[in-house]
Chain A
Amino acid sequence: MTNRIVNHPVLGELTNQTSVTFTFDGQTYEGFEGDTIASALLANGIRQLRVHEGTGAPRAIYCNIGHCFECRVTVNDTQIVRACMTPIQQQMVIESGKMQPAPFKASPEEWPRTYAEFEKMNEHHKEGVPHG
């Protein structure tokens, strides 16, 4: 937890913290009891919490108080959990938000108009798969 502010001239020293172990995308990290998922991850230098479902653009906390939903992650198989509002817990399994197929976002020209076109596109995709 390299980003922890241990000493503070007014708020004092951070002492007697209880450590909490959790995983994020399969990696094990430690946070402090009282941390949110977002603060525990940031304390470990982890910023990116998800990618935009449609564009794949990386995203992290923005408002940090539950308004913007930019920090939504999957926690113990529950989706759309706000990392900034959820206390970290021992053995929590957290997954970042992934890109999702979003056909409604594609432009109409990219859609196959006939079954033959669909087949052709399918063939095209197969060619791209490396042979094992």
Chain B
Amino acid sequence: MDQTIICRCEEVSLEDIQQTASRYNCSAREVKLRTRAGMGYCGGRTCRPAVDAVLEAVTGERAGHDIPLKVQPPVRPVSLSVLGGESR
């Protein structure tokens, strides 16, 4: 097993993802929710393809045409003052 960090934001290792995926036999979405891989500040921009590759290796689940974990807004961290902003 391998301690290489896959998700830098949440420091989730290759081993964490592999073990979670095989123990719970779960979908890409579930692995991400359980391990927090891809759930940090970067929103998965750095590790999303990496996490998908690990999951493909463990579960055999290939990337379909839909993006494995739907992107939710905001796609950049924003302060509450920005969210309350007025229209121009």
Contact = CB atoms under 8 A, between A and B. Distances in A.
Q: Do chains A and B touch in the complex (CB under 8 A)?
A: yes
Interface of A: 52, 54-55, 57, 59, 62-63, 67-70, 72, 80
Contacts of A55: 11
A80 B46 contact: no
A52 B12 CA distance: 12
A62 B45 CA distance: 12
B42 interface: yes
A68 B8 CA distance: 9
B42 A68 contact: yes
A55 B11 CA distance: 8
Contact of A67 (B11, B42, B77): B42
Q: Which of A67, A69, A72 has the most CB of B within 10 A?
A: A69
A54 B8 CA distance: 12
A83 to B, nearest CB: 13
